[in-house]
């Protein structure tokens, strides 16, 4: 990846369509195009808050005038990679009333009786909203692949189904921003150990996380395949170096900012007689 700080961050972090992905070649501690250090990163992220909230309000306002556009941020990554932290620190910069957050867990029996995209469609953002998926339909080609939850032929069809689904979202005005929070195995060990060391973090720990960790190489491979097959023009994947939390938060905030600026939502024109309303208000009770 060329280090050109003038290029939009999206160009720098996106997975080129159809290209093979080797996650081992991505440094999870890197800070491409990022601020110089943690202090500068925290400040830069906070400074983006006002602009993000302003663009969000415009996006919502535009929807009241018929604009169907909206944003969907998809967060994927291994345990402790910071999906929840991103929601807290990045989505926390927005007005919560315009955010539709959905954390996908193990499918319920009802969800399992439907096609895998069924529960996804029910959770999509409405026009004007910013949707956030903490895990997503990608679990159906990640854990489903690693744990062999479905026959290989069915799994193989899902990549195409996902691409067609995401293309239909793009046509419907949904800007999908898919972020893979890339952490190193060593960083995950540190974060899991910290959860064990602190009683106020025990609730976040599950011994099953260690079993999943043992499948690290299989998961990395499953991610490589998903990133390679499903980073499309309509809906690219971004690899976010996430060993440094401040960089992760800065980078995702910046990606959201770049996409919202590209959408450039506009306040709608009044569809009523402003002068007449003003007169009624001033002269009325």
Question: Which one of 3, 5, 153, 282 is in contact with a copy of itself (CB under 8 A)?
Answer: 282
- Examine residue 24 and tell whether it contacts a copy of itself (CB under 8 A): no
Least CB distance to a copy of itself at residue 229 (A) = 27
- Examine residue 65 and tell whether it contacts a copy of itself (CB under 8 A): yes
Only one of the segments 14-22, 115-123, 220-228, 277-285 lies at the binding site for a copy of itself (rule: CB under 8 A); that segment is 277-285
Burial of 25 (0-12, 13-18, 19+ CB in 10 A): exposed
Least CB distance to a copy of itself at residue 168 (A) = 25
C-alpha triplet 59, 7, 38: angle, nearest 5°: 80
Tokens of 91: 């989505």
Residues 42-61, interacting with a copy of itself (CB under 8 A): 61
- Examine residue 36 and tell whether it contacts a copy of itself (CB under 8 A): no
Least CB distance to a copy of itself at residue 86 (A) = 10
Tokens of 252: 């995702």
- CA pair distance 210, 212, nearest whole angstrom: 5
- Examine residue 199 and tell whether it contacts a copy of itself (CB under 8 A): yes
- Examine residue 218 and tell whether it contacts a copy of itself (CB under 8 A): no
Question: Which one of 69, 167, 213, 259 is in contact with a copy of itself (CB under 8 A)?
Answer: 213
Only one of the segments 91-99, 108-116, 154-162, 224-232 lies at the binding site for a copy of itself (rule: CB under 8 A); that segment is 91-99
Least CB distance to a copy of itself at residue 3 (A) = 32
Only one of the segments 27-35, 163-171, 191-199, 228-236 lies at the binding site for a copy of itself (rule: CB under 8 A); that segment is 191-199
Question: Which one of 95, 112, 126, 154 is in contact with a copy of itself (CB under 8 A)?
Answer: 95
Residues 96-125, interacting with a copy of itself (CB under 8 A): 96-97, 99, 101, 103
Which is nearer to a copy of itself, 2 or 199 (by Cβ)?
Answer: 199
Alpha-carbon 248 to chain mean position: 11
- DSSP codes of every residue in the chain: ----TTS-HHHHHBPPTT----GGGS-TT--TT--SSHHHHHHHHHHHHHHHHHHHHHHHHHHHTT---EEEEEEEESTTSSHHHHHHHTGGGS-GGGEEEEE--SPPHHHHTS-TTHHHHHTPPPTT-EEEEES-GGGGGTHHHHTT-S-HHHHHHHHHHHHHHHHHHHHTTEEEEEEEEE--HHHHHHHHHHHHH-GGGGGG--THHHHHHHTHHHHHHHHHHHHHHH--SSS-EEEEE-SSHHHHHHHHHHHHHHHHHHH---PPPPSS-HHHHHHHHHH--
- Examine residue 196 and tell whether it contacts a copy of itself (CB under 8 A): yes
- Examine residue 203 and tell whether it contacts a copy of itself (CB under 8 A): yes
- Examine residue 159 and tell whether it contacts a copy of itself (CB under 8 A): no
Q: Which residues bind a copy of itself (CB under 8 A)?
A: 61, 64-65, 84, 87-88, 91-92, 94-97, 99, 101, 103, 134, 185, 189, 192-193, 196, 199-200, 202-207, 210, 213-214, 216, 267-270, 272, 274, 277-278, 280-282, 284-285
């Amino acid at each position: 990846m060329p280090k050109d700080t003038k290029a939009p961050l999206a160009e720098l972090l996106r997975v080129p369509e159809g290209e093979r992905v080797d996650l081992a070649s991505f440094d999870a501690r890197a800070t491409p195009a990022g601020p110089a250090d943690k202090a500068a990163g925290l400040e830069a992220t906070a400074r983006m808050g006002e602009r993000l909230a302003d663009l969000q309000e415009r996006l919502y306002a535009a929807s009241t005038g018929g604009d169907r556009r909206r944003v969907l941020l998809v967060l994927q990554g291994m345990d402790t990679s910071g999906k929840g932290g991103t929601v807290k620190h990045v989505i926390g910069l927005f007005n919560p009333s315009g955010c539709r957050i959905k954390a996908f867990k193990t499918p319920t029996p009802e969800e399992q009786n439907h096609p895998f995209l069924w529960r996804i469609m029910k959770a999509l953002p409405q026009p004007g909203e910013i949707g956030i998926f903490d895990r997503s339909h990608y679990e159906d080609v990640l854990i489903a692949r690693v744990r062999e939850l479905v026959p290989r032929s069915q799994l193989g069809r899902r990549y195409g189904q996902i691409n067609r689904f995401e293309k239909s979202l793009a046509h419907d005005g949904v800007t999908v921003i898919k972020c893979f929070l890339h952490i190193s195995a060593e960083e995950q060990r540190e974060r899991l150990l910290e959860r064990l060391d602190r009683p106020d973090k025990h609730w976040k720990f599950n011994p099953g996380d260690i079993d999943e960790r043992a499948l690290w190489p299989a998961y990395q491979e499953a991610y490589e395949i998903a990133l390679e097959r499903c980073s499309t023009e309509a809906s690219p994947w971004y690899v976010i170096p996430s060993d440094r939390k401040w960089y992760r938060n800065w980078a995702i905030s910046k990606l959201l900012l770049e996409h919202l600026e590209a959408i450039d939502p506009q306040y709608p024109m009044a569809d009523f007689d402003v002068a007449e309303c003003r007169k009624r208000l001033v002269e009325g009770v």
